[in-house]
Amino acid sequence: MEDTRSLRRYKPNTLAKLDRYFHDRTGGMIGALSHQVRGAAMDAIVDGSEKITKAGLEAVPLDVAAEAPEFRSPGSTR
């Protein structure tokens, strides 16, 4: 997914460093992960920041299944 982001201020490995966060937030659902990253990238283009941040990722709402407690990892804070 990192190679497909064409943001001017994007730092390589930003997404890889958030692997645990992504898994906890999306419950390991690849569709929810893709939606979250794509949404954060689009917001970064619109707001002019041109980078993906954890705050930007948090601002992207996920589908009901990804947000449901029964699909999240044990110990997840979400």
Asked if residue 25 belongs to a domain, the reply is yes
d(Cα 29, Cα 32) in Å, to the nearest integer?
5
Contact 16, 10 (CB under 8 A): no
3-state SS, one letter per residue, for the chain:
CHHHCCCCCCCCCCCHHHHHHHHHHHCCCHHHHHHHHHHHHHHHHHHCCCCCCHHHHHCCCCCHHHHCHHHCCCCCCC
Amino acid at 51: K
Torsion angles phi and psi, residue 48, rounded to 5 = 85, 0
Q: What is the pLDDT of residue 22?
A: 93
pLDDT higher than 60, residue 75: no
Average pLDDT over residues 22-33: 91
Asked if residue 50 belongs to a domain, the reply is yes
Asked if residue 45 belongs to a domain, the reply is yes
| pLDDT band at 30; cut points 50, 70, 90 | very high
Range of the domain at 20: 12-60
Quote the number of domains for the chain: 1
